[in-house]
Amino acid sequence: MGDDSFQSLSLKRKNLAKEKKYLEMELQWLVLRQKQIQAEIELRQALEFENALALEMARYGEFEKRLPGEEGFIDPSQRRAWETRLLGRKRESDKAAARVRLIARDMKDLLGKVSHHGFIPPTNQSEKSSQPVSDPVIP
């Protein structure tokens, strides 16, 4: 260190501060990216549950159609209960999708902020996982 000039030490300090700032911005990005991935997982899980219930309802509905007679084995109150459960699952899916959109908005804001300072995320994964999921389930 004794051989370093004032200018080289000043430049080294400036570079260290810049590197530290980049690391802080990357950490902000990583934290938000983790939240984004978790929200995407929760959305897929909600949609999976919604789909599983709709599939079960459809299976019993198809079975009921094959039975002879006017009246099937599914009680109207049971059918309403299933429809209510499916509606609840749909609301959960909608809520999870809204959370994904909010976090995507926050990510866009953060990327705008950090790119202004010269930080570019390691990869552009946010666009890959934010692709729309399959169509909603209709009973």
Alpha-carbon distance 125 to 84, whole Å? 37
Residue with tokens 């908005």: 105
Q: What is the pLDDT of residues 52-88, one digit of tens each?
A: 999 999 998 888 888 777 777 778 898 899 999 999 9
Give the pTM: 0.75
Residue 112 near residue 19, CB atoms below 8 Å: no
Kindly give, in sequence order, each residue whose CB lies less than 8 Å from that of residue 125, ignoring residues fewer than 6 positions away. 33
When divided into structural domains, the chain yields a total of 1
Burial class (CB in 10 A: 0-12, 13-18, 19+), 122: exposed
Identify the CA nearest to 122 among candidates 27, 15, 18, 9.
27
* Domain-embedded: residue 3: no
pLDDT digits (tens, 9 = 90+) for 16-55: 999 999 999 999 999 999 999 999 999 999 999 999 999 9
Say if residue 136's pLDDT is above 70. no
Range of the domain at 73: 8-129
